[in-house]
Amino acid sequence: MWGGRFAEGPTAIMREINASIPFDKRLWQQDIAGSKAHVTMLEAQGIVTASDAQAIRDGLDTVALEYAANGVPVDLALEDIHMATESRLAALIGAPAGRLHTARSRNDQVATDFRLWVRDAMDGVLVGLRALQVALVIRAGENVATVMPGYTHLQVAQPVTLGHHLMAYYEMISRDVSRFSDARQRMNLSPLGAAALAGTGFPIDRHMTAAALGFDGPTRNSLDSVSDRDFALDYLMAAAQCSLHLSRLAEEFIIWASQSFRFVKLPDAYSTGSSIMPQKRNPDAAELVRGHSGRIIGSLTSLMITMKGLPLAYSKDMQDDKPPVFEAHDLLALCIAAMTGMVETLTFDAARLRQAAEGGFSTATDLADWLVRGADIPFREAHHITGAAVKLAEQKGCALDQLSLDELQAIDARIDDRVFAALSVDQSVASRKSFGGTAPEQVRARVEEARAELGIGG
């Protein structure tokens, strides 16, 4: 019934389900680097002769040149990148190729290749995140005194500064940088030489191959070495959390760009029009960053579920570790680049932000605080008096600072005309000088500190 597409029945099905070459060909550079380190160690330990080792290294260089020029040929019969490379090596150099796999198994080989790949991926992400941090710090620095509404429950709460809001994302991205750096450090041990699962009887030097591949040393348990995918999970966890931060920022941009808010104009480069509604300017890039985070989080879930039921040591299920990591990495790199571009180029409408900050009785807390400080009224009572003032302003359809002194004194006789100074949004943000608060001077200090962290001049 289902055999039509298979020329050879079950054999072809087995070949198809078994093969990982369609995706693990992405590991070719790491596979060749790992093999060169391995054969050089075999030579140093007297396990293969100098001439065989040289023939193998030269042959691997040729294979690398071929892959770089033409891509990795996908032949399902060769199953994976390890077999494909070894088979091509044999075709190029003949008999010595057969000595490369001495004292090694595909189990430690793939664990090594994949670690090297994930390590490179982490380094790439760290470069991207730094660019995003720089963009956030620059835009925050331009806007330390730009007032905007601060929200809780997406209801106007208190005025904040735009610089403060952007620096909140700087803090999140800094934690992502810390998570990726931490994961990179933890994973940087070499599984090469664990062989199939038990180690090997050959007199290998695992410290030598570890050093050659830029690892801090060899892993300490051969069973764990071939069955551990924590490094990939660490990467995916950091990626999932980072994508969640990017998604939240994307969501802010989507809200801010909507007609009801009009806080920002997204650049043409990151928007699209509608094919039927000429007035539309859609924040597609931001929406896709928000959407892609779902797929990245899904990749983490996928690998966790792959791993959770596996006894020691290697099981073929583990071949499924690569697609989620590759997918998450490609999406994350794109999302970081898109968010960086948006942060760099979107235009803030400062007048509109101010107007919104002045609405919603955003300085009600400032009135209550003034009553405590200026009239020595206990905060709970001040809160109550402020509530009455908000109610009156709401009835009159005006802002708090548009109520007259007479009206305010009718609510509470202890109010005097000094109160008006406390009710402006500028005064409100300027007063919030507590460490980490939204006052321009606090935000400026944090921006300067962040510039120093990033090593960029003021």
What is the set of active-site residues? 153, 274
Angle, vertex CA 277, rays to CA 272 and CA 280, nearest 5:
40
CB closer to ligand ARG out of 178 and 315: 315
User: Do residues 408 and 389 touch, judged by C-beta distance below 8 A?
Assistant: yes
Q: Is 63 a binder of ligand ARG (CB under 6 A)?
A: no
How is residue 272 annotated by DSSP? Answer: B
CB closer to ligand ARG out of 105 and 293: 105
Full 3-state SS string of 59-96: HHHHHHHHHHHHCCCCCHHHCCHHHHHHHHHHHHHCHH
Smallest distance from ligand ARG to CB 188, Å: 21
**Which listed range, 8-16, 183-191, 311-319, 425-433, lies at the site for ligand ARG (CB under 6 A)?**
311-319
CB closer to ligand ARG out of 111 and 166: 111
Cite the DSSP H helix spans in 309-424.
322-345, 350-358, 364-375, 379-396, 405-411, 419-422
Smallest distance from ligand ARG to CB 313, Å: 10
Place of tokens 């994350």: 332
CB closer to ligand ARG out of 43 and 228: 228
Q: Is 107 a binder of ligand ARG (CB under 6 A)?
A: yes
What type of residue is 268? D
Smallest distance from ligand ARG to CB 117, Å: 12
Q: Is 319 a binder of ligand ARG (CB under 6 A)?
A: yes
Interacting positions 260-299 with ligand ARG (CB under 6 A):
none
Distance CA 44, CA 36 (A): 12
The contact pattern for ligand ARG, residues 39-58, with x = CB under 6 A and - = no contact, is --------------------
CA 195 to chain centre: 33
Q: What burial class does residue 277 get, using C-beta atoms within 10 Å of its C-beta: 0-12 exposed, 13-18 middle, 19+ buried? A: exposed
C-alpha closest to that of 214 among 37, 60, 64: 37
Q: Is 85 a binder of ligand ARG (CB under 6 A)?
A: no
Torsion of CA 360, 363, 369, 375, to 10 degrees: -100
Axis crossing angle, helix 106-142 with helix 81-93, rounded to the nearest 10: 120
CB closer to ligand ARG out of 80 and 176: 80
Q: Is 106 a binder of ligand ARG (CB under 6 A)?
A: yes
**Which listed range, 33-41, 66-74, 103-111, 428-436, lies at the site for ligand ARG (CB under 6 A)?**
103-111
Site size for ligand ARG (CB under 6 A): 10
Smallest distance from ligand ARG to CB 24, Å: 6
User: Do residues 118 and 231 touch, judged by C-beta distance below 8 A?
Assistant: yes
**Which listed range, 90-98, 102-110, 170-178, 231-239, lies at the site for ligand ARG (CB under 6 A)?**
102-110
130: tokens are 């730094």
**Which listed range, 165-173, 287-295, 310-318, 359-367, lies at the site for ligand ARG (CB under 6 A)?**
310-318
Q: Is 113 a binder of ligand ARG (CB under 6 A)?
A: no
CB closer to ligand ARG out of 270 and 314: 314
**Which listed range, 247-255, 315-323, 337-345, 381-389, lies at the site for ligand ARG (CB under 6 A)?**
315-323
89: tokens are 């090596």
Sole binder of ligand ARG in the list 28, 67, 314, 361 (CB under 6 A): 314
Angle, vertex CA 20, rays to CA 12 and CA 106, nearest 5:
115
Interacting positions 226-255 with ligand ARG (CB under 6 A):
none
C-alpha closest to that of 138 among 452, 445, 348, 451: 451
Burial string for 344-358 (b: 16+ CB within 10 Å, else e) reads eebebbeeebbebbb
Q: Is 24 a binder of ligand ARG (CB under 6 A)?
A: yes
Place of tokens 């985070």: 293
CB closer to ligand ARG out of 251 and 320: 320
Residues in touch with ligand ARG (CB under 6 A): 20, 24, 80, 106-107, 110, 314, 316, 318-319
